[in-house]
């Protein structure tokens, strides 16, 4: 959707909590940074994200926008699987797995995958397993929380005492490490004398 159309329908867009846009080139992406959007959606079937330049991705990251990568093209059509993997790796090179959502993006429910299948796809794309899990289970939730905070004009802040920040927490030790061995409970015998 051209930028001038976004500006003309801005009153209608204000009714929504989360807004996603799909830029087709670098100029459109740069203009989108001036608008109030939450998600930049990318089609996994693109030949290459030639317009994703390091400077633009840094601006997206600073503004706390999220990239949405659709994995359905690589699941539904093996000829574009390489394009999806290349696009994912281009994104991961610059954003290091942060600010990323993986979604199906397909209208046919047969191409929707379960969360652990999507985690495996993310690992195939080049994400470490822990970041893949965080992306699948927490990425979209973070967008919703951010949009909710923006709507209510409040932000959740986690305050911790200074002492807990300076001293690392002591890890719990297993009984074997402390020398305490748990013996099985001894049954009491009743004597019948």
**185 in a structural domain:** no
Domain that holds residue 75: 3-152
Residue 23 burial class via C-beta count within 10 angstroms: exposed 0-12, middle 13-18, buried 19 and up: buried
**160 in a structural domain:** no
Please state the rounded mean pLDDT for residues 149-162.
Answer: 60
The 10s digit of each residue's pLDDT in 112-142 is 888 898 898 888 888 888 888 888 888 888 8
Q: What DSSP element (H or E) covers 175?
A: helix 175-178
**102 in a structural domain:** yes
Query: The domain that contains 135 carries what CATH number?
Result: 3.20.20.140
Predicted confidence at residue 176, as pLDDT, reads: 47
Predicted confidence at residue 183, as pLDDT, reads: 47
State how many domains the chain has: 1
Predicted confidence at residue 47, as pLDDT, reads: 65
**82 in a structural domain:** yes
Task: Flag whether pLDDT at 186 surpasses 50.
Answer: no
Tokens of 165: 């920040």
């Amino acid at each position: 959707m051209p930028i001038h159309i976004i500006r003309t329908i801005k009153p209608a867009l204000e009714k929504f909590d989360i807004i996603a846009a799909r830029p087709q080139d670098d100029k459109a992406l740069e203009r989108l940074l001036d608008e109030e959007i939450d998600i930049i959606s990318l089609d996994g079937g693109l030949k290459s994200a030639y317009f994703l330049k390091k400077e633009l991705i840094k601006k997206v990251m600073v503004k706390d926008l999220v990239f949405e990568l659709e994995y359905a093209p690589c699941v539904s059509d093996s000829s574009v699987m390489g394009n999806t993997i290349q696009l994912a790796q281009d994104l991961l090179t610059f954003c290091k797995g942060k600010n990323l959502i993986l979604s199906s993006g397909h209208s046919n429910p047969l191409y929707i995958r379960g969360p652990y299948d999507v985690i495996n796809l993310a690992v195939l794309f080049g994400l470490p397993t822990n970041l893949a899990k965080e992306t699948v289970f927490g990425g979209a939730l973070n967008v919703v929380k951010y949009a909710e905070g923006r709507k209510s004009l409040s932000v959740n802040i986690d305050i911790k005492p200074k002492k807990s920040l300076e001293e690392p927490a002591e890890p719990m030790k297993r009984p074997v490490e402390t020398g305490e061995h748990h013996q099985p409970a001894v049954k009491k015998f009743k004597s019948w004398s």
